[in-house]
């Protein structure tokens, strides 16, 4: 993907419609590269997690156009390209395998971000009843090699409907169950990028499988 990072760098410095329209050809080249990359990545990820096999890039890739209706930042375009590879497509409420390409902020990770209340409660219940299994996943050497902690906001107090004296109550306070690891921009344009992502996603697979198991009856 030789054109993606250079295009995004220039877009970051020229985030307005006139520049974008004048550079539409460059955008389409970068967009096509990213779509081809995701298209090639999906079947390889499907070898790790069969629920991902068969997805199409359009089910995973986020649009570059920002929704500015309720934002103070009126910049019309995102300065990144991202894809969430999720069972049934990124709009479904399952754990995802995410890749984010942005100059100086390339990362991969996954899990589930800010789920609705019924989904979050189901996830917390799964952890509550299987805390040792969950801790075994997030404390395993393969997982800890890439992911140092669960990311995102947490409650200050124990969540409702769970005993406050539960030994692992902090695990239930998370509002999201997501993890991420930074990746050097320099490998985005090389074959090493695919290899790195697949290694990260292999470490992530038990975590996502645990989450998705909790959502079976949602």
Report how far residue 207's alpha carbon sits from residue 48's, in angstroms, rounded to the nearest whole number. Answer: 13
> For the residues 98-103, what does the mean pLDDT come to?
98
Q: Do the Cβ atoms of 158 and 187 come closer than 8 Å?
A: no
Cα–Cα distance measured from residue 208 to residue 49, given in angstroms and rounded to the nearest whole number: 9
pLDDT value for 26: 97
Give tens-digit pLDDT for 13-65: 999 999 999 999 999 999 999 999 999 999 999 999 999 999 999 999 999 99
Burial category of 107 from C-beta neighbours within 10 Å (exposed 0-12, middle 13-18, buried 19 and up):
middle
pTM: 0.94
Instruction: Give the pLDDT score at 25.
Output: 97
> Six-digit token pair at 218?
């949602």
Q: What is the pLDDT of residues 115-167, one digit of tens each?
A: 999 999 999 999 999 999 999 999 999 999 999 999 999 999 999 989 999 99
Domains, the chain, ordered by start: 4-214 (3.30.930)
Q: What is the pLDDT of residue 74?
A: 87
pLDDT of residue 70: 81
CB < 8 Å & 24+ apart, contacts of 143-147: 143/203, 143/204, 143/206, 143/207, 145/203, 146/179, 146/181, 146/200, 146/203, 146/204, 147/109, 147/179, 147/180, 147/181, 147/203, 147/204
User: What integer best gives the mean pLDDT of the chain?
Assistant: 95
Angle separating helix axes 191-214 and 131-138, nearest 10 degrees = 170
CA–CA distance, 70 with 127 (Å, rounded to integer): 35
């Amino acid at each position: 993907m030789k054109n993606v990072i250079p295009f995004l760098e220039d877009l970051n410095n020229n985030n307005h419609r006139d520049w974008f329209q004048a550079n539409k050809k460059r955008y389409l080249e970068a967009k096509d590269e990213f779509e081809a990359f995701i298209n090639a990545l999906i079947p390889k990820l499907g070898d790790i997690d069969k629920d991902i096999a068969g997805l199409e890039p359009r089910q995973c890739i986020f649009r570059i156009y920002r929704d500015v209706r309720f934002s103070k930042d009126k910049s019309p375009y995102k300065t990144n390209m991202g894809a969430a590879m999720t069972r049934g497509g990124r709009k479904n409420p399952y754990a995802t395998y995410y890749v984010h390409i942005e100059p100086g902020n390339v990362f991969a990770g996954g899990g589930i971000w800010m789920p609705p209340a019924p989904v979050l409660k189901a996830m917390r219940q799964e952890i509550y009843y299987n805390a040792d299994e969950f801790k075994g996943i997030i404390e395993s050497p393969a997982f800890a090699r890439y992911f140092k902690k669960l990311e995102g906001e947490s409650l200050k107090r124990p969540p409702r409907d769970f005993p406050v004296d539960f030994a692992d109550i902090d695990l239930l306070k998370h509002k999201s169950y997501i993890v991420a690891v930074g990746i050097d921009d320099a490998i985005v344009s090389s074959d090493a990028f695919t290899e790195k992502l697949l290694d990260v996603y292999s470490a992530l697979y038990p975590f996502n499988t645990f989450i998705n198991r909790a959502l079976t009856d949602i």
